[in-house]
Every structure is written in C-alpha cells, then in structure tokens.
C-alpha cells in the first residue's frame, strides 16, 4: 500500500502526533489473529470515509477492508479514544498559540425558531401562509468556543480529521 495515496492520509508528522494517543495493541495473552493492518492504515481508511462522505462498503480496495475500519471506528468511539484524541490535540493547539489549555469562557447564542404546535397535515397547512395562526416559538441554543478547534460535533472522530486539515502546514508542535 502506498504511504500517502489519498489527500486524507496522515503525513508522517501527523502520524507521529496521533500514534501515541491511540490504544496500545495487545501483544500478550489472548490477542487473537495476528494483525494484518497497522493502526495508521486503519486511521487512513476511517479518515477517507469521514472526509469523502462515502459509505463504509464503498471504500477503495487499496485501503483496509471496510469492516475492519468500521470496527475500530466504533470501538474507539465507544471507549472515548476519539474524545481523548480531540481533547489532547485541542489542548496542544491552545497552548502552542499562547492560550490556556482549556477554554475559560464560552458564548451562548440563542435563536428563536418558529415551530407549529400541530403535526401532520394540519401543520403543513399552516406552513405556506405568511403568518401561521398556530405557532409557538422555541429556543435553539448553541455553544460557541472561540478557539481554533471550537465545536465538538456528535461524531468526535470527524473533528480529528478536521483538526489536522485546519492546522497550518508550517505549525510547530515543539
């Protein structure tokens, strides 16, 4: 497999940063079948799916099998590996830019959104009118952190790839 076949593949520098943040593979006891794919290949496969938006089963054949990549993606999501990777990288970026490791403030933004009280056909009858007669207002709130790695999404793993793509190429991790 080529070392850097896709734009989503980690560079050697990025891999050196990320590798220590992943769980150590078992080497003793009941380890099961010998590992066929390295963590780097698996992470590159995961990032390919997350960045391109393709389905798992449509991954290119020169990446590890989709079931393998999906297994590790799910496993690391459930055991909070992705969350730990994100938090560690966010803290490194903040410290490197001269800020505190963790945010000290956040901005709460509130937006009023019209919603109907009824569902189904009655609700769709209300929507085309310019001023619905039966509507209530609800608050849609968002938490905004003004750092480079501001928002945590539902899928933390997607943030990991966004972190690397948003960091300037000449950024020093030293």
Instruction: Report how many domains make up the chain.
Output: 2
Same domain, 92 and 36: yes
Is the pTM higher than 0.85? The answer reads: no
What tokens appear for 169 in the block? 């190429």
How many beta carbons lie within 10 A of that of residue 47, not counting itself?
A: 25
- Give, in order, the Cα–Cα distances in Å from 159 to each of 6, 30, 86, 138: 18, 33, 7, 29
Same domain, 128 and 52: no
The tens place of each residue's pLDDT in the chain, 174 residues long, gives 455 689 999 999 999 999 999 998 777 667 677 789 999 999 999 999 999 999 999 999 999 999 999 999 999 999 999 999 999 999 989 998 888 888 887 777 766 666 666 555 555 555 555 444 444 433 333 333 333 333 333 344 445 555 566 566 665 555
Same domain, 122 and 76: no
Same domain, 113 and 76: no
Distance in angstroms (rounded) separating the CA atoms of residues 40 and 34: 16
| Residue 173 falls inside a structural domain | no
Distance in angstroms (rounded) separating the CA atoms of residues 84 and 87: 5
């Amino acid at each position: 497999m080529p070392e850097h076949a896709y734009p989503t593949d980690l560079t050697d520098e990025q891999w050196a940063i990320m590798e220590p943040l992943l769980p150590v593979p078992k080497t003793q006891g009941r380890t099961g079948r010998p590992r066929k794919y390295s963590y780097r290949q698996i992470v590159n496969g995961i990032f390919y799916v997350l960045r391109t938006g393709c389905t798992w089963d449509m991954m290119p054949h020169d990446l590890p099998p989709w079931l393998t990549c999906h297994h590790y993606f799910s496993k690391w999501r459930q055991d909070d590996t992705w969350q730990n990777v994100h938090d560690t990288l966010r803290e490194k970026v903040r410290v490197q830019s001269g800020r505190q490791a963790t945010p000290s403030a956040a901005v709460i933004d509130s937006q009023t959104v019209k919603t109907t009280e009824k569902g189904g056909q009655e609700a769709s009858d209300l929507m085309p009118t310019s001023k619905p007669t039966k509507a209530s207002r609800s608050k849609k709130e968002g938490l905004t952190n003004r750092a480079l790695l501001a928002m945590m999404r539902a899928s933390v793993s997607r943030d990991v790839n966004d972190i690397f793509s948003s960091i300037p190429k000449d950024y020093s991790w030293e």
